[in-house]
Structure 1
Amino acid sequence: MACEYSLKLLVIGIVQGVGFRPFIYRAASRAGVRGYVRNLGGSEVEVLIQGNVENVHKFLHLLASEMPPPARIEEISGEETCIDHLSEFKILPSLTGMGRRSMIPPDIGICEDCLREVLEPGSRWHGYPFNSCAWCGPRFSMMYGVPYDRANTSMRDFPLCEDCKQEYSDPENIRRFHAQGISCPNCGPKVWLTDSKGLKIQTKNPIATASQLIDEGYIVGVKGLGGFHIAALATDEAVVAKLRDRKNRPSKPFALMALDIRIVEKIAYLDDVSRRLLTSPEKPIVLLKARDKHLASLVAPGLDVIGVMLPYTALHYLLLKSTKDKFLIMTSGNKRGKPMCIDEECAFRELSSFVDFFLLHNRRIVNRVDDSVVRLTEGSPVFLRRSRGYAPMWIRVPLVFKKPVIAFGADFQSAGAVAFEDKVVLTQYIGDLDDYDILTDLERYLEFFVKVYRINPSNALLVVDKHPRYTSRLAGVMWSRKYGAEVIDVQHHHAHAASVLADRGVEPGETRAVITIDGAGYGVDGAIWGGEVLEACYSSFRRIGHLTYQPMPGGDAAARNPVRMLIGVLSRFLSEDEVVNLLKKRNLIDKLKHGEREARVSYRIARKSVLTSSTGRVLDAASALLNVCYARTYEGEP
């Protein structure tokens, strides 16, 4: 038989876990072409189409114009070929160990169609907290590896029932045909309620009962999509005070979750940009100016902004829907300095002293994913934490890496990354690396990306921070010894500058003046930098200005205690007695644990202390002098 004209396409982007293959199947049927579509092992999709030129062009038009909402094509390449006549178009089983590199799908907030099914009394998903489809639901948080097939996710623990199988196999079912994460009350995960020790509470509706308990002032741990939350009333001062006491969290603001935009407008001011962010499929926490009423003052003490998100799973929506306020504190379920819990063992061990009850389910969380946090600056969104909904999508940069890069980040508010071609793939938010479990997370996710994107660590460039005591640096050095790979260190603020250059699309070799201000970064002169003006390109920099160096009495102790930092600044201008008298006049002596003695010792050691040009430390000193803040209990505290 003579071969027929065919076109083979390789599609790279967000094309797995978003209903892309079923979309290709329907487009092929409409266009009258034959062939196949299949996932490749690198998380990209291969398409073969066969037919006359007119039908092939029709297919390509449908491909370009009618993609499902979450899908995104980054690259597409094609080659003409000639193969034997095919009789139909098929979705073929996924391949492993083939293909190039494509995006790992991020978790997607519940879509309007799935939520409507949950709320409709006649729907077979009525009240079902795990409803999802090809366009929404968990992705990265439940993935063991690629390709994105049910067998490679924690949904493999839940075989499809006959009804779900029928929908999965029906090409006309746009949202569930070959959707890997679908389920229903008959075959999907289950939810239950326990006390703080794990003793099961007998109730027909665990979610509604949990809502009732929250309304009564109890604190409930909720197993969600990428980890545990702690849910509590945001309008009751006593409840919020109790939560702060239990979590040993005196000042750091709590995030809120509100049922819908209408409820958000009761507690915060919205503009068009923040409204779009809140309702986007990513559903981040958005920082908003708070209204004066409704909230307990301890939710965000001393601040006029609050962090708010909308429900991104049916479970969260149903929980909020049954509460009296329709909004709750929804803060990460973790001990201070520890990673967020993702399983019951961790929750019972680390959260039982915080909560009175647990709302649990039996879908395993494979990858820990915190909520993303965004603030608006002059009308544009800026990430404070890039995680759920966005990670691990890659970012294109205006340069091409000559060899793969594995970057270990810094030690605080950390994330790692891998880079190849013109792409950077950031991990989700990891946390502060002074805890072993968090360091283990960083290495685990870097290993996951190395495997998915087929990076040979031995041939990669390992990049670490220049700080000699950073745990992330030690991790990178250990990887270098393990794999025999080259490792380089990068000055902290040069890294900041390079990220700004990439964000602004600056070409390699071009130089810009960049201002980098933060809390701390190890300088090339051994001082702690943080208020820098750099002349920088991607490969080098020159320091052309900085804030005046100030002594930090006690080093890190001054970073935690703004009054100590104030003593360091004043020691350059005033005598010891003058500093002590000023502190007394400003009622600051009693803000030091050991009073006047500590003040005098801090003054005497100031001249021998480490020096810093940090903007954050200067602002700490100013905040103490102005009686705004005397102890820094969290990063960025006023």
Structure 2
Amino acid sequence: MSLKAIRLHVSGIVQGVGFRPHVYRIATKLGLRGYVVNLGGSEVEIWVEGDPVLVEKFPEVLRRETPPSAEIEEIQVEEVVPRGYPSFEIRKSGKVLTKISMIPPDLGMCDDCRREILDPSSRWYRYPFHSCAWCGPRFTIIKRIPYDRENTSMSSFPLCYKCREEYTDPGNTRRFHIQGISCPTCGPQIYLVDREGAPLRVSDPLVEAAKLVDEGYIVAVKGIGGFHLAVKATDDEVLLKLRSRKKRGRKPFAVMARDTSVARRIAVVDEAAEKLLLSPARPIVILPKTREVSDQVSPGLKTVGVMLAYTPLHYLLLEATVDKFAVMTSGNESGEPIIKDNEEALLKLKNVADYFLLHNREIVNRVDDSVIRLSDGEPLFLRRSRGFAPRWIRAPNEYRRPVIGLGAMLNNTGALGLERYIIPTQHIGDLENMETLNFLHESLKFLVETYSIRLPESLVVVDKHPYFLNRKLADQLVAEAGAELYEVQHHVAHIAAALLERGTREGFGIAIDGVGYGDDGMIWGGEVIYISEDGSYERLGRLEYIPLPGGDRSTLYPARIIAGVLAEHVDLQEFLRLASYNHLDKRVPGGIQELKIAFNQAGASIKCSSAGRFLDAVSALLGVSWERTYEGEPAITLEEFSWGGSKLDYRLEHGGGEVYTKSFFYDYMLNGRFNNAATRDIAYTIQFEIGRSLAEIAHENGAREIYVSGGAAVNSVILKGVKHVFGSDRVFLPRKLPPGDGGISAGQVYFAKIRGLA
């Protein structure tokens, strides 16, 4: 009988997800011989030979029967000369990089593993680290590729006889050659300590930790990507204690529920929300909250962030609590990255947590929880991290050289562009200290080393703002590695990120956010921009510049912005009368004296076209929210307050590409335009009008479809205003990236390609 042989190179998420065992089963079922092997770039090489008909059938079967957690991005097939292999085997991984592939993200606990940890007859009964081919940690335990056990933090836990037997059994679908498997005999162990690190002698650390949560203590819990701080979500006192110790102000906490039945007690979970909650990534989903949780979970908001227990450890912990849910917020000092190591946690959280639930498996790559919200029915990222990072996004054209994007200052991520892919890092955080900058550096270094990037050949892309902290990293890469540096304006990067997902190089965009350094040295944030195919761009319109008296203090207390706007229209005595009548003096710490100072500072103050700052000021004027304790707070609160509101017969006019936002303050405070209107309807109308007016400017300049990005792009009311002009099917937002600053790094990398620099 004649023989035929082919060699396949498969890229995608094909390491760490049971792909090689799956290939083995297909090949042996077809009676083919050869091998499958992990290569050095996270890709897989397959050699099959045998009956020509069955060999030709193999690639088709491979694509059709992909394992649940695997994703085949590309299969390259070449015909080769048969070698006469006697059987099919899984070979020891190689180190040669022939084609890059995706590093697998962490996956939430599957139903099979959940059943086994709850089954008293199972040898994994109540085992907190149970996982299989379809679930469990991946990225967080990888030290290097290829993804083999010796290259992960599981290398510290040699397999026992029973696990080794299953690991080598081709018939064991979920455990054959799965690197993360273990059991109570051979795997990681948990233990409970007090804040001094002294062990607590308890029979079951999980049950005892749950009891401590129920009793009102703060327990630091080591998960798969870092620490959580767990507290009872129905206890005002302990939540206020956590806010005080963590210095967290009013920023919302996320709540973890045991399962969807429990989640429905916390929030309104419709079909779309349930699908997100149960997806393999198990993200936090922002949902309308019920009365079940304390108001201190998300003060002033109608929503709460909910996620499901995504590891056996979390599931068993919550199962042992009375409520079956608890606050699980990032375990870190305020402003620093999530903590991943036991020693660091005991050092930095000893004045925050009362007890620590620890384990002895190393977290290699720290990863915070991902956050998604539904905006006008669309799921959009607020934070892209665990469960998604470091998945890549396919670019329409191949990169001639590597590009490294360093992102923005707030909600930072980095990104790497090479071949036909853009690979964002996990969520880094706000670059306000060296600890977070170092986290950005280590995350990019992991990607650079994984994909064998030569830094001297690379282009480093930074935000145009001259004082962002990641400029230090950019300067270091240029000075030490000889990389080339390129600047991209903040809002251009926002629009480029939206263009990337549709694979286009040009388009009209609306970029709406808090602040970004503009080409004219002003602060931008409500822009209409056209990007041409050659990488040139034009700013076609914007929101009217409004003053920020006192600079950053106006971002904290936006009633000061109103003082600056009124200073251009009335004298001081008239303003003070209007301020008192509208209770603005109650909305700044310094009362009427502070407003007087802000009024007098207006002429010399910096100005901005920011949608975020405008909405903050509207929120303060309407008495909805007037102090920012976290980024976007007044504007976020304003959006939720306006839900259920109606559109009034009122327009924000525009001319010469400028939206006249100041007129709203005059109409409200001077002209009595809204005297008979409900505050909710006013709030709804102004947000709708921002979207409509900016969309009209784009439409008047020839746009027939629009790309919307920026932190305020997730505002559902603004989106309704944009869609009012263009229709729902011609409004495009980033869906694989956060529209906010978490998508900036990928936008930077893509714009460098549009510009022809890579």
Instruction: Classify the TM-score, shorter chain.
Output: over 0.9
CA offsets per residue over residues 505-543 of structure 1, 9 Å max, x none? 32x3x3x22111000000000000001011123612101
2:541 corresponds to 1:545: yes
1:540 counterpart letter in structure 2: S
1:218 counterpart letter in structure 2: Y
Runs of 4+ in 1 over 4 A off after TM superposition: none
Choose from 504, 513, 517 the match for 2:512.
517
- What is the Cα deviation at residue 586 of structure 1? 3.1
3-state DSSP of counterpart to 2:570? coil
2:445 corresponds to 1:447: yes
CA distance in structure 2 between the aligned counterparts of 1:101 and 1:109, rounded to whole angstroms: 25
Choose from 380, 383, 389 the match for 2:381.
383
- What is the Cα deviation at residue 381 of structure 1? 1.2
- What is the Cα deviation at residue 170 of structure 1? 0.5
CA distance in structure 1 between the aligned counterparts of 2:38 and 2:322, rounded to whole angstroms: 46
1:424-463 aligned within 5 A: 424-463=422-461
3-state DSSP of counterpart to 2:34? strand
| 1:100 paired residue number | 99
CA distance in structure 1 between the aligned counterparts of 2:341 and 2:83, rounded to whole angstroms: 51
CA offsets per residue over residues 265-290 of structure 1, 9 Å max, x none? 12211221111110111100011111
Normalised to the residue count of structure 1, the TM-score between the two structures is 0.97
| 1:179 paired residue number | 178
3-state DSSP of counterpart to 1:105? coil
1:604-615 aligned within 5 A: 604-615=600-611
CA distance in structure 2 between the aligned counterparts of 1:532 and 1:60, rounded to whole angstroms: 48
CA distance in structure 2 between the aligned counterparts of 1:305 and 1:226, rounded to whole angstroms: 25
CA offsets per residue over residues 158-187 of structure 1, 9 Å max, x none? 111111110101001111000001000001
| 2:656 paired residue number | none
Choose from 583, 588, 601 the match for 1:587.
583
| 1:498 paired residue number | 496
| 2:529 paired residue number | 534
Same amino acid, percent of matched pairs: 50
- What is the Cα deviation at residue 98 of structure 1? 2.6
Asked whether the 8 Å contact 2:587–2:620 carries over to 1, the reply is no
| 2:16 paired residue number | 17
3-state DSSP of counterpart to 1:110? coil
1:136-175 aligned within 5 A: 136-175=135-174
2:490 counterpart letter in structure 1: H
1:215-254 aligned within 5 A: 215-254=214-253
CA offsets per residue over residues 316-363 of structure 1, 9 Å max, x none? 000010111111111111111111111112211221212211111010
Moved more, 135-144 or 535-544: 535-544
CA offsets per residue over residues 409-428 of structure 1, 9 Å max, x none? 01110000001222110000
CA RMSD, Structure 1 to Structure 2 (Å): 1.5
Aligned pairs, number:
633
1:470 counterpart letter in structure 2: F
CA distance in structure 2 between the aligned counterparts of 1:337 and 1:317, rounded to whole angstroms: 28
- What is the Cα deviation at residue 583 of structure 1? 2.8
CA distance in structure 2 between the aligned counterparts of 1:574 and 1:401, rounded to whole angstroms: 56
- What is the Cα deviation at residue 60 of structure 1? 2.7
Moved more, 230-239 or 128-137: 230-239
1:155 counterpart letter in structure 2: M
1:358-507 aligned within 5 A: 358-506=356-504
CA distance in structure 1 between the aligned counterparts of 2:247 and 2:315, rounded to whole angstroms: 28
2:546 counterpart letter in structure 1: Q
CA distance in structure 1 between the aligned counterparts of 2:419 and 2:146, rounded to whole angstroms: 21
2:523 counterpart letter in structure 1: I
Asked whether the 8 Å contact 1:251–1:301 carries over to 2, the reply is yes
- What is the Cα deviation at residue 476 of structure 1? 1.5
CA distance in structure 1 between the aligned counterparts of 2:86 and 2:10, rounded to whole angstroms: 23
Q: Residues 35, 326 of structure 1: CA spacing in aligned structure 2 closer, same or farther, 3 A cutoff?
A: same
| 2:559 paired residue number | 563
Structure 2 gap segments, 5+ residues each: 635-758
Moved more, 475-484 or 258-267: 475-484
Asked whether the 8 Å contact 2:192–2:358 carries over to 1, the reply is yes
CA offsets per residue over residues 367-396 of structure 1, 9 Å max, x none? 110000001123221100000000000011
- What is the Cα deviation at residue 606 of structure 1? 1.7
Asked whether the 8 Å contact 2:4–2:55 carries over to 1, the reply is no
1:111 counterpart letter in structure 2: C
3-state DSSP of counterpart to 1:201? coil
Asked whether the 8 Å contact 1:522–1:528 carries over to 2, the reply is yes
CA distance in structure 2 between the aligned counterparts of 1:497 and 1:412, rounded to whole angstroms: 17
3-state DSSP of counterpart to 2:103? coil
3-state DSSP of counterpart to 1:480? helix
Moved more, 396-405 or 409-418: 396-405
| 1:27 paired residue number | 26
CA distance in structure 1 between the aligned counterparts of 2:492 and 2:317, rounded to whole angstroms: 45
- What is the Cα deviation at residue 3 of structure 1? 10
CA distance in structure 2 between the aligned counterparts of 1:518 and 1:84, rounded to whole angstroms: 60
Q: Residues 537, 208 of structure 1: CA spacing in aligned structure 2 closer, same or farther, 3 A cutoff?
A: farther
CA offsets per residue over residues 441-477 of structure 1, 9 Å max, x none? 1111111111112221111111110001111233213
1:270-285 aligned within 5 A: 270-285=269-284
CA distance in structure 2 between the aligned counterparts of 1:30 and 1:611, rounded to whole angstroms: 69
CA distance in structure 2 between the aligned counterparts of 1:328 and 1:361, rounded to whole angstroms: 20
Structure 1 gap segments, 5+ residues each: none
- What is the Cα deviation at residue 84 of structure 1? 2.6
Asked whether the 8 Å contact 2:489–2:518 carries over to 1, the reply is yes
1:530 counterpart letter in structure 2: G
Normalised to the residue count of structure 2, the TM-score between the two structures is 0.82
- What is the Cα deviation at residue 80 of structure 1? 0.8
Q: Residues 396, 98 of structure 1: CA spacing in aligned structure 2 closer, same or farther, 3 A cutoff?
A: closer
- What is the Cα deviation at residue 608 of structure 1? 1.0
CA distance in structure 2 between the aligned counterparts of 1:336 and 1:579, rounded to whole angstroms: 38
| 2:743 paired residue number | none
| 2:754 paired residue number | none
- What is the Cα deviation at residue 132 of structure 1? 0.5
CA distance in structure 2 between the aligned counterparts of 1:178 and 1:497, rounded to whole angstroms: 43
| 2:618 paired residue number | 622
CA distance in structure 1 between the aligned counterparts of 2:86 and 2:400, rounded to whole angstroms: 44
